[in-house]
A = this chain, B = another copy of it.
Amino acid sequence: MSRSSSALRLAFVAAATPAARAAKAALEERYNGVKSADADIIVALGGDGLMLQVLHRNIKRKRPIFGMNLGTVGFLLNQYRATGLTSRLKAAREVTLNPLRMVARTTRGQVREATAINEVSLFRSSRQTARIGISVDGMERLPELHCDGVMVATAAGSTAYNLSVHGPIIPLGTGLLALTPISAFRPRRWRGALLSRHAKVEFTVLDPHKRPVAAAADSIDIPNVETVTVTEATDIELTLLFDPEHDLEERILKEQFAS
């Protein structure tokens, strides 16, 4: 990206850890930190959890976000370095993500909407196995999945929870979503499906009173859902900045070859 050095107003956001806070204080002094509302770029200091929070909070502001890893995992983050930030930001590569839009209707009839950068998941909230029907683009594909849960993951989220439950890693920019079961009991060898990014996935919780299920858009939980629809939020674009030698596309590709 081309940005003139003089114009770069930076806002720093830190996770609630001593290391992240200390880094924030030092960087704010060095780079004259401003408030998020006044910033050209948000610099997030922490782990993937903080990064997701910052992304969620900036959905409307549309500012690019540069994360530096001072926490755990750090898939969406760059390496932390205390100096040289301006030149890194000028050289950074932009990656644009569309989040998922979840519309959930609860057993009480309330409708809740939320966005997810990594995944929308449904999970049983009692010891009873969940029973969930799955439709894609209005056509029923699985009338009754017996499972702990099920999720739709984006390419960016495909290396997160999706990978733990044996879902495929999806390269960025290929227009795919992963529909992945969590501990499927029946059909027991169902491995999930890769779907077009234009797909509309609808989950129907069967027997939601005896077998309650909660939905989650990243970390936003909605208990006692009855139906959940998931689509790509084509109207929202999130911009992440990455050091060019190790951007998100490269990370996801590399992850596919990790042993």
Residues of A within 8 A of B (CB): 127, 134, 136, 141-142, 147-148, 161, 163-166, 168-171, 173-176, 182-185, 187-196, 216, 219, 221, 253-254, 256-257, 259
Residues of B within 8 A of A173 (CB): 196
Residue contact A141 to B257, C-beta cutoff 8 Å:
yes
- Copies of chain A in the complex: 4
**Which residues of B are found within 8 Å of A141, using beta-carbon distances?**
253-254, 257
- Alpha-carbon distance between A170 and B178 when the two chains are bound, in angstroms: 11
Q: Give which listed residue, B182, B187, B196, B254, contacts A171 with CB less than 8 A.
A: B196
Task: Please tell me if the beta carbons of A147 and B164 are within 8 angstroms of each other in the complex.
Answer: yes
Q: Is the CB of B219 within 8 A of A127?
A: yes
Name the prevailing secondary structure of the A interface residues.
Answer: mixed
Q: Do the beta carbons of A163 and B185 come within 8 Å of each other?
A: yes
Which chain B residue shows the least CB distance to A183? B164
- What CA separation (Å) do A188 and B134 show in the bound complex? 22
- Contact residues in B for A191 (Cβ distance below 8 Å): 189
Q: Does the CB pair B189–A170 fall under 8 Å?
A: no
Chain B proximity of A179: nearest CB distance (Å): 8
Chain B residues whose CB sits within 8 angstroms of the CB of A161 once the complex forms: 183, 185
